[in-house]
Amino acid sequence: MVAVLDQARAWDAAAAVPDPEVPCVTVADLGILREVIVDGEVAVARVSPTYSGCPAVMAIEMAVEAALRDAGFEARVERVMSPAWTTDWITDEGREKLRAYGIAPPVGAAGKRALFGEVEVPCPRCARVTTEKISEFGSTACKAQYRCTSCGEPFDYFKCI
């Protein structure tokens, strides 16, 4: 019973770590926290970066390690590169948190237009799909900058990976 409680406590501690670039979502919301295993006093968190060149990887790993230590565990973080992270792993709650924060969550295959494979991105503010891409890159490399032609608001779109 203690092992199960420790496992849950370790997971909860690691899962609550916010993404440093998009603080409205946690590492669990993004699906980059793969698992947390407790072996005795040691909690091992397995984390996948959103992409291999993500500049926040070290900050995320250090924050997860600190959260586990703060929860009373000896901590170790392992970086897992395979299988590679995909935006499909973002939870429904994470997608809603992104939208509420003003970032359009990734659109899956259903959002593809036939012409040139462009994506129909709904505005996170008014939900209309009358949007246009301003720049392939937004505030971070994993986001693109869009503008809604209905409400006029600019917003980031979390690219589908």
Reported as a single tens digit per residue, the pLDDT across 113-137 is 445 567 889 999 999 999 999 999 8
- Do residues 123 and 142 lie in contact, with contact meaning Cβ atoms separated by under 8 Å? no
Q: pLDDT, tens digit, for every residue of 8-63?
A: 999 999 999 999 999 999 999 999 999 999 998 899 999 999 988 888 999 999 99
Mean pLDDT, to the nearest integer, of 93-107? 96
Q: Would you state the structure tokens that stand for residue 138, as one six-digit string?
A: 């937004």
From the options 3.30.465.10, 3.10.20.30, 1.10.287.3510, 3.30.300.130, give the CATH code of 2-87: 3.30.300.130
**Separation in Å, CA 100 to CA 42, 95, 112:** 36, 9, 23
Q: Residue ranges per domain, the chain?
A: 2-87, 102-158
Instruction: Tell me, letter by letter, the H, E, C secondary structure of the chain.
Output: CHHHHHHHHHHHHHHCCECCCCCCCEHHHHCCEEEEEEECCEEEEEECCCCCCCCCHHHHHHHHHHHHHHCCCEEEEEECCCCCCCHHHCCHHHHHHHHHHCEECCCCHHHECCCCCCECCCCCCCCCCCEEEEECCCCCCCEEEEEECCCCCEEEEECCC
